[in-house]
Chain A
Amino acid sequence: MSEWLESAITRAQGINDWLAPKRAHALDLLAKTKWPTRKTEAWRYTPLRPVERTPAKVIRDKVDLSPVVIADLSAIEVVFVNGQFDQAQLAKTLPAGLSIALGADLNAAQQADALTAFSTIKPERHIFGLINDALAQDVVVVSVAEGVEITQPVRISSLLSLGAESHTRVQVVLAAGSKLTVIEDIQAQGDSLNTAFVEYNIAANARLEHYRFALQTGSNVAVGGSHFNLHDHAKMNSTIVGFGSELSRLDTDIIHAGEFADAKLNAMYLLDGKELFDLHATVEHAMPNGKTEENVRCIVADRSRAVFNGRIHIHRDAQKTLAELNNRNLLLSDKAEINTKPELEIYADDVKCAHGATVAQIDKQALYYLQTRGVSRSKAQVMLNFGFINELIDLMPNAALAEWIRPIIRERFAQMEVK
């Protein structure tokens, strides 16, 4: 066991609040879990040294930080600063049918519900999920009432000052027939460590539009997850944009717990320098007639390393499932590395499942074509790289977010050292 984990466990043992039974359970499991090494399948390509030697510390003093402004996006802000929920940044009045509150502030009945639901969607195999269970400072519960469509997006920001450690946790509950857009965003100033986990329960006929921006770079360590539970006819559309950092690891789990659920996941990550980004996307089709479509694209430059594990698991009862996973990777440098593993585990026969993965460099013919049209080689490379990712940005349903992220990505390409 690592020293870091030991100290985390010691700290967690001192917490006594409404989540006590869940925290105790997580600590029990942690005591039985081995600290991942290269031989641990889920961490095969992602060494945990950056966690072991992180300088990050919990900062209790109040720090003033606010999320970046996104033009034309009028979001309801849920802000965590260094792991603490900042009530002052939350709007005083919320749209009818939407409630956002600290778990500790809920009334007894609501709190009992939140406690029951806590950590039921996020699978227990995530060691950092368990750490988050045990250590999450403030737990926020977001819920939408039955049949209510909230047009204003909810943005959950986790902001970290230099050298901060934070463990944030949000529960999002969409009642039957409701609709909500959630943006998860992490911004860190360096030398930080955060675990940010969000669980989504999407009831029958509800719709979730989801974004996760993991744009922290440099010396930050970020290990988190977004976990979704879909009931009958529920729909979700998720977009993930990631830049690498010293260690960035994201786990998504999409569980088809009802029939005729529909999930879309578009993920893109762009790595440079010595960055690492590891995405583990798991889809569990537990019920029949579900549909999943995943598109994952990745560009790695310089000495960066990308890891992707895309697992689709079709259970015995999940007949008539349609599941597709497409993973495309561009390798720009001979020091960079791509490790990808699309997995299918299928126990039902009347299904259509496919996955594809490619690793290559930029299409030489396309490059040549642009050069014959007078575009410089380096500019042509940026254009082609950008086009590769832009196809997924075009699929983002929220125009304000697409317009915001596009120049950020373009700038990232311009910085990438193309060899």
Chain B
Amino acid sequence: MTEQIDKALAREYEAGFVSDVESETFEPGLNEDVIRRISGMKGEPEWMLEWRLGAFREWLEMEEPDWALVDYPKIDFQSISYYSAPKSMKDKPKSLDEVDPELLRTYEKLGIPLIEQQMLAGVAVDAVFDSVSVVTTFREKLEEAGVIFCPISEAVHKYPDLVKKYIGSVVPKKDNYYAALNCAVFTDGSFVYIPKGTRCPMELSTYFRINEQNTGQFERTLIVADEGSHVSYLEGCTAPQRDENQLHAAVVELVAMDNAEIKYSTVQNWYPGDENGKGGIYNFVTKRGICHTNAKISWTQVETGSSVTWKYPSCILKGDNSVGEFYSVALTRGRQQADTGTKMIHLGKNTKSTIISKGISAGRSNNSYRGLVRMNPGAEGARNFTQCDSLLIGDQCGAHTFPYVESRNPSAIVEHEATTSKVSDEQMFLCRQRGLDPEKAVSMIVNGFCKEVFKELPMEFAVEAGKLLEISLEGSVG
């Protein structure tokens, strides 16, 4: 049975191709000069460079976290190249026509609609290739609405006041080891600003792609939703299939001002390594949002890729009546390891948070939910509900739950529930009885298991997520 599962799980990683794009890549290594060079390449102002160097000095003093239930060889930070850009980007293209056709083909292969005319989805895309943002679509239409959506490297020049005010305000420079590293070496990412009272006219999307060998990707996303505004943001990622591990250490900061709402959805499909655990992306990401009065931040994630995941999208519920949500499906197979979850920090009165986490483990993988719900003394009348369910497929995998609950307010209510089970024989029997083949039956049961999360995803992503899950589960009959 295990053999059959393994065989079925050894499916091809569809985004595993390498694009033949001539690129300019820094020699591996990390020191202050490298940071100066990155900053120089981007023509950054002095304050940005100082900020980077400050973070780098903090990082040197910090220790790599070891509390997560993941196991990987020590990373040699000197063997990574911290900057890689397609050569043709040197003279940045003014429009899509000037973009290297090979790059466009890459995104086409990935199914990402960059060509505006051909696009049906109505999604504005910022595509980040290795260290630089390649193209951002639909900018004019967004500008009409007053929405700023551009590469963060551009925002540093065009909107320095906004960037200066908010960068590092949610995830401080020395928040953690990988966040500090990101602050020092981040190369690009997206910047979004939604003005007061504006509803962003379309979904915003960023697609990240690591192409070069021995490079790391350190992007940084900053989304500011001003009072009463609303935005839905999608994020996707892929990387070529390589035998070496590559590091991805991103930082995402969300600021939801009074009455604003941010919906952040991720479909993470970095290369997970082969069935023996060779290669794959280390996905060590810090994502956090802050909610002011009556604001709402909703994180939805579908995690199927990466060899090691270390990721805890969190909400600081600072304002009264603010709401935080976390919906997650994490699927691990082969030798993947995922340690993911969320933190809900309740500071304001009547703040509410909901956590729905669905973990599916197959093959020889390990999948952990790690979460924190904290009710501070001021969180009068706050409410949390957490549901963590794990599904095991095969007897060589692991499913784990580590929820921290800290309450300091008697009027706050925290509820946590967790269950672990396998696809039951009864469920399978029922489906088989109705004429479904075992594969279809498992896929259906798993889809049902994840339904609560999928319904939170925007349409295009829900379809993609469903498909991803189906491919990943092919043949894994429990």
Contacts and interface: CB of A to CB of B under 8 A. Distances in A.
Q: Is the interface of B mostly helix, strand, loop or mixed?
A: strand
Contact of B401 (A355, A358, A361): A355
B394 interface: yes
B414 A357 contact: yes
Given A334-B377, A349-B395, A354-B419, A341 B414 contact: no
Contacts of B392: 346, 348-349
A337 interface: yes
A350 B422 contact: yes
A355 to B, nearest CB: 5
A360 B414 contact: yes
A343 B341 CA distance: 14
Interface residues of A, number: 36
Contacts of A353: 419-421
A194 to B, nearest CB: 28
Given A332-B410, A349-B395, A361-B411, A339 B404 contact: yes
A316 B395 contact: yes
Contacts of A335: 377
A60 to B, nearest CB: 43
A359 B414 contact: yes
Contact of B410 (A331, A346, A352, A357): A331
B398 A345 contact: yes
Given A336-B408, A341-B404, A346 B399 contact: yes
A357 B402 CA distance: 12
Interface residues of B, number: 37
B420 A344 contact: yes
A359 B420 contact: no
B257 interface: no
B415 A358 contact: yes
Nearest to B421: A352
Contacts of A357: 403, 405, 414-416
Contact of A350 (B395, B411, B417): B395
A358 B414 contact: yes
A340 interface: yes
Contact of B409 (A329, A331, A355, A356): A331
Contact of A342 (B394, B403, B415): B403
Interface string B365-377: 0000000000101
Nearest to A345: B400
A348 B478 CA distance: 12
A160 B403 CA distance: 37
B62 interface: no
Contact of A349 (B69, B397, B404, B417): B397
B47 interface: no
A4 interface: no
A351 interface: yes
A338 B409 CA distance: 9
A381 to B, nearest CB: 12
A200 B402 CA distance: 28
Given A346-B420, A349-B394, A360-B413, A337 B406 contact: yes
Contacts of A350: 395, 422
Interface in A25-48: 41
A272 B19 CA distance: 66
Contact of A341 (B405, B408, B415): B405
A319 interface: yes
Interface string A38-78: 00010000000000000000000000000000000000000
B337 to A, nearest CB: 13
A343 B401 contact: yes
A368 interface: no
Given A349-B395, A356-B416, A359-B413, 9 more contacts: A331-B409, A343-B403, A349-B394, A350-B395, A357-B414, A358-B414, A358-B415, A358-B416, A359-B405
> Which A-B residue pairs are the 4 nearest by beta carbons?
A349-B392, A359-B414, A359-B407, A331-B410
30 contacts: A319-B395, A329-B407, A333-B410, A334-B377, A334-B408, A334-B409, A334-B410, A336-B408, A337-B406, A337-B407, A338-B407, A338-B408, A339-B407, A341-B403, A341-B404, A342-B401, A344-B401, A344-B418, A346-B392, A349-B397, A351-B422, A353-B420, A355-B401, A355-B417, A357-B415, A357-B416, A359-B405, A359-B412, A361-B410, A419-B410
